[in-house]
Amino acid sequence: RTGILPNLKYMPPATSRDRINIGNTEFTSQDLAFMQSLGSVEHQTDLLHAIRGLQATLGASQALPEGVAMLSSEQLVNVLQNIQLINTLPALAEGQQLVPMNIAQSTQQLTEQVKQQGADVSQIDMHTIDLVGMVFEYMLSDENLPDSVKALLSYMHTPFLKLAFGDPGFFERPEHPARVLLNSLAEAGTRFVGNDGSVQYDMYQKIKDVVDRVIKDFNNDVNIIAELFIEFN
């Protein structure tokens, strides 16, 4: 796939019955072709245009209030690291459904922890928070995406907010590994997980494993995100 790694275009040879084994799972060649198209640049370009529209609406940052300290982006990332460790995927009893992470509450946790340090969040950083929220709103508003998958993907908000503070390319590059990974997980959930509880290829668990690793392992190194994208596809 252009912009990530060229060898992602590789497809294993088809079997005589046009089915392909990867690990212990058998896929049709049509499924493989679809999975190769996950995270298409076209989807992300649409979102990029919407983000730029919001950036234009937000405009230049307002003057900072006098006498109020503003945390740097690096300091905000440290605060978010603590929040990320709190907002892990909860253990569920059999038959219990995952409740989506409350993104608004997570944002409130961030501002409260900043204020506990006698500081505030700058207007520029608030814009970043709004833009990351827009990325997730775009994804979570998809009526074709099962609620169970939406709940899973909502837990990636805090790690992605951390990434956005340290990597402006998150907004500017539709092929950014984190953006493509999120899109890939959403499209796989749409195709292989049903709102009626049906799941193909154990896809819900595979998505859950990726989300869990992002929460536990991502510590501002985008290479982890790229590796997860390659493994998942």
Rounded distance between C-alpha atoms, residue 88 and residue 155, angstroms: 7
Q: Is 140 a residue whose pLDDT tops 90?
A: no
pTM of the model: 0.69
50 compared with 179, residue with greater pLDDT: 179
Residue/partner pairs of 223-231 with CB below 8 Å, 24 or more apart? 225/163, 225/177, 225/178, 225/181, 226/4, 226/5, 226/177, 228/181, 229/4, 229/39, 229/177, 229/180, 229/181, 229/184, 230/4, 230/5, 230/8
C-alpha–C-alpha distance, residues 44 and 183, integer Å: 8
Q: Taking residues 42-56, what's their average pLDDT?
A: 56
Query: Which tens digit of pLDDT belongs to each residue from 58-76?
Result: 554 444 455 556 777 777 8
Helix, strand, coil percent values for the chain (each to nearest 5):
60, 5, 35
Checking if the pLDDT of 189 tops 90, the result is yes
**Which residue from 52, 62, 207 is spatially nearest to 135, judged by alpha carbons?**
52
On the question of pLDDT at 12 being above 60, the answer is: no
pLDDT given for residue 57 in this prediction: 58
pLDDT at 5 over 50: no
For the cut 70, the answer to whether the pLDDT of residue 155 exceeds it is: yes
Name 26's bridge partners.
21
pLDDT, mean over the chain: 74
Using CA of residue 23, residue 179, residue 189, residue 216, what is the dihedral sign? positive
CA distance 8 to 71: 40
d(CA 221, CA 167) in angstroms, rounded, equals 10
3-state secondary structure of 143: coil
Average pLDDT of the segment spanning 206-232: 91
Q: What is the reported pLDDT for 170?
A: 82
